[in-house]
Amino acid sequence: MRLVTGALILALLSPVAFAAKVYRFNIDNQLIIKDHIPAEYAQLGYDILNSQGMVVKRVQPAPTPEELAQIAAQQAIKEARLERIRIRREADQALLRVYSKPADVERARQRNIDNIDGYISLQQRRIVDLTEKLERAQGRAANQERAGQEVPVDMRLEIAKLQNQIRESHTNVKIRKAEKNESTKGYADDYARMQILLKYPPGTLESEIPLEEETAISDSEI
pLDDT digits (tens, 9 = 90+) for 14-35: 444 445 789 999 988 888 898 8
pLDDT tens sequence across 122-165: 999 999 999 999 999 999 999 989 988 999 999 999 999 999 99
* Gyration radius (Cα) of the chain, Å: 41
User: What distance in Å separates the CA atoms of residue 15 and residue 11, rounded to the nearest whole number?
Assistant: 9
Q: 88-100 pLDDT, tens per residue?
A: 999 999 999 999 9
Residue 45 CA, distance from chain mean position: 40
Q: Which of 62, 93, 117 represents a domain boundary (last residue)?
A: 62
Residues 26 and 124 grouped into a single domain: no
Q: What does pTM read for this prediction?
A: 0.63
Per-residue model confidence (pLDDT) at position 116? 97
Whether residue 135 sits in one domain with residue 51: no
What's the pLDDT at 216? Answer: 53
What's the pLDDT at 100? Answer: 95
- How many C-beta atoms lie closer than 10 Å to residue 130's C-beta? 19
Domain boundary among 62, 93, 115: 62
Mark whether 105 and 181 lie in a shared domain.
Answer: yes
Overall average pLDDT of the 75-89 stretch: 96
Q: In what order do the strands lie in the sheet with 21-27?
A: 30-34, 21-27, 46-50, 55-59
- Check: CB of residue 162 under 8 Å from CB of residue 137: yes
Q: Is the pLDDT of residue 64 over 60?
A: yes
- The reply to whether 6 falls in a domain is no
Residues 23, 48: contact at Cβ < 8 Å? yes
Residue 207 lies in a domain: yes
Residues β-bridged to residue 46? 25, 59
Distance CA 68, CA 72 (A): 6
Q: Please count the residues of the chain.
A: 222
Higher pLDDT, 220 or 192: 192
User: Are residues 58 and 154 part of one domain?
Assistant: no
**Gap between the Cα atoms of 118 and 22, Å rounded:** 86
* Same structural domain, 57 and 88: no
177 and 92, same structural domain?
A: yes
Query: Does any domain span residue 115?
Result: yes
Does residue 10 register a pLDDT over 90? Answer: no
Residue 2 inside a domain? The answer is no
Q: Is residue 5 part of a domain?
A: no
Structural domain boundaries, residue 190: 77-221
Do 54 and 148 reside in the same domain of the chain? no
Domain count, the chain: 2
Distance of CA 219 to the CA centre of its chain: 25
pLDDT band of 42, cuts 50, 70, 90 = confident
The reply to whether 10 falls in a domain is no
Q: Considering the domain boundaries, does residue 1 fall inside one?
A: no
Is the same domain home to 33 and 86? no
Q: Are residues 38 and 144 in the same domain?
A: no
Above 90 in pLDDT, residue 119? yes
Residues 49 and 154 in one domain: no
Query: Span 57-64, mean pLDDT?
Result: 89
User: What confidence score (pLDDT) does residue 212 get?
Assistant: 59
Q: 92-113 burial, b if ≥16 CB within 10 A, otherwise e?
A: beebeeebeebeebbebbeebe
What is the DSSP track for 48-63? EEETTS-EEEEEPPPP
In a domain, 13, yes or no: no
d(CA 179, CA 117): 11
**CA separation (Å) from 172 to 95, 110, 125, 156?**
29, 20, 13, 24
Residue 167: pLDDT over 50 = yes
Q: 169 and 118, same structural domain?
A: yes
Residue 109 and residue 195 share a domain = yes
Residue 93 has φ and ψ, to the nearest 5°, of -65, -40
